[in-house]
Amino acid sequence: MEIKIVKIVTGETVIGTKVSDYLEDVALIQVIPSSGGIQLAILPYGFPFEDKIGGKIPLDKIVYEFKDVPDDIKNKYLEAKSDIKISSTMPGSNLDFNLIK
């Protein structure tokens, strides 16, 4: 299972699992500025009309692939996708996550 963060032709930043020629279980990543830095919201691509993470995007719709996916973002994506809480400490991380489902 290879989790990727990419920018697609629509300009949106999404996270998903790379499977052969497509990205599946796609979720939007939205950056929200706040007084303490930034917050990331991970929500279903079809939000607000869909409440579960899913769907597929063909790899030919990807215009940019981020080099690395930080472990804390991977964990939050997996939590949002599976409804299973992943316990971890994030020393030095100044990111705050909002999972919208």
Q: Where are the domains of the chain?
A: 2-99
Contact call for residues 26 and 54 (beta carbons, < 8 A): yes
pLDDT at 83 over 90: no
Q: Tokens 């990331």, residue?
A: 40
pLDDT at 100 over 50: no
pTM of the predicted structure, to 2 decimals: 0.79
Which H or E run includes 28?
strand 22-34
Q: Tokens 């692939």, residue?
A: 65
User: What is the tens place of the pLDDT at every residue in 33-55?
Assistant: 988 888 899 999 999 898 899 99
CATH of 2-99, one of 3.100.10.10, 3.40.718.10, 3.10.180.10, 2.30.30.100: 2.30.30.100
pLDDT at 57 over 90: yes
Q: Is 11 left (phi over 0), alpha (psi -120 to 50) or beta?
A: left
Per-residue model confidence (pLDDT) at position 65: 96
Per-residue model confidence (pLDDT) at position 1: 76
